[in-house]
Amino acid sequence: MDSNSLMQFAGAIASGTVRVVDLTFTLSPDFPVIVLPPEFGQAAPVRIQQISRYDASGPAWYWNNLSFGEHTGTHFDAPIHWFTGKDLPNNAVDTLPVRDMIAPACVIDCSAQAAQDPDFLLTIPVVEEWESRHGRIPERHWVLLRTDWSKKSWRDYANLKDDGAHTPGPNAAVMRWLVEERGIIGFGTETIGTDAGQAGHLDPPYPAHHFLHGGGRYGLQCLCNLDQLPPTGAVIIAAPLKIQNGSGSPLRVLALLPAA
């Protein structure tokens, strides 16, 4: 690519020929986070403490102190997050290759199935059916699972029952297949976690984490606005914070797509 095309691309963004869609929830204290049994360590919730706001603590300036867990809000999972990826090279958010932070996406719309069944699991046949319409999933593409889950109220979004969360996600076979047979760069969801709410009962447990990170691939979760993306043709920008040896990070996820 010559510099001319890069400038054309920048111009297309400025003119709106290339549309930029924000796939990110606002990072706020009231956004649901992953819930583990209380005897485990917990993700620290998002906290925003005001330092000053044009007041006695700082007359001309407004700023805050922030604290949050690496896995809060719309966030990125690096391979080091899971035991399967712990020994891979460049497996943390500060060392992963920056070129992996920009990649195209295939968006699989399962919103109808998820509306019927909160425990809906993405399977190989569902993806094959999608491929029959939109073509084979190319290597180094994100696969984003659209469920419209991001449009729910927080309580329905977390959907916690006395036997755990009930939210859609992938089954084990499709995760392994996407990583090994399709060579995806990562998998993204609208729900809290790349895995289904009941994925602890799958084999292996939490197959998205297991296979993605074991294969050196990435996860994105708590995405929104996936309904604005075409099945193919969008490019995702997902650059996590450069946290030393970080397992993940809240981030701004943007999608670039041709304006209609």
Partner 1 sequence: MIEPIAKPRRKNPLLRTRLPTSPPRARSRASHGFTRAAAEGRFMLQRCGACATFCYPARDACPSCLSADLVFTDAPRRGTLLCGTMLHVPADVHFRERAPWRVGLVAMECGPTVVAHLHADCEEGQPVVMSLQLDKSGQAVAFAHPERETPNMADDRQWREMTAEPKFRRVLVTNGRSIVGQETVAALKAAGASIVFVGIAEPWKPFRGEDALRALEGVEIVPLDIGDEKSVADLAADIGGKVDILVNTTEHVRAGGLLDRQGTSIVRDEIDQSYLGFVHLAQAFGPAMRMRGSDGVNSAAAWVNILSVYALANWPVFGAYSASQAACLSLSHSLRAELRPGGIKVVNVFTGPLDIEWFQTVPPPKVAPRVVASSIVSALKRGLEDVFVGDVAEDIRQRLAANPKAVERELGT
**Residues forming the active site:** 81
Compute the distance between CA of residue 254 and CA of residue 165 in angstroms, rounded to an integer: 27
Work out how close the CB of 66 gets to partner 1 at its nearest, in angstroms, rounded to a whole number.
Answer: 12
* Residue whose CB is less far from partner 1, 47 or 86: 47
239-to-75, 137, 194 alpha-carbon distances in Å: 10, 22, 17
Work out how close the CB of 52 gets to partner 1 at its nearest, in angstroms, rounded to a whole number.
Answer: 14
* Residue whose CB is less far from partner 1, 45 or 104: 45
* Residue whose CB is less far from partner 1, 68 or 218: 68
CB atoms within 10 A of CB 187: 28
Work out how close the CB of 88 gets to partner 1 at its nearest, in angstroms, rounded to a whole number.
Answer: 24
Per CB under 8 A, residues contacting partner 1 are: 29-30, 32, 35, 41-42, 44-45, 47-50, 153-155, 157-158, 160-161
Work out how close the CB of 50 gets to partner 1 at its nearest, in angstroms, rounded to a whole number.
Answer: 7
Which tokens go with 91?
A: 């497996």
* Residue whose CB is less far from partner 1, 47 or 136: 47
Rg over alpha carbons for the chain, rounded to the nearest Å, is: 19
Decide: 184 and 143 in contact? Cβ < 8 Å: yes
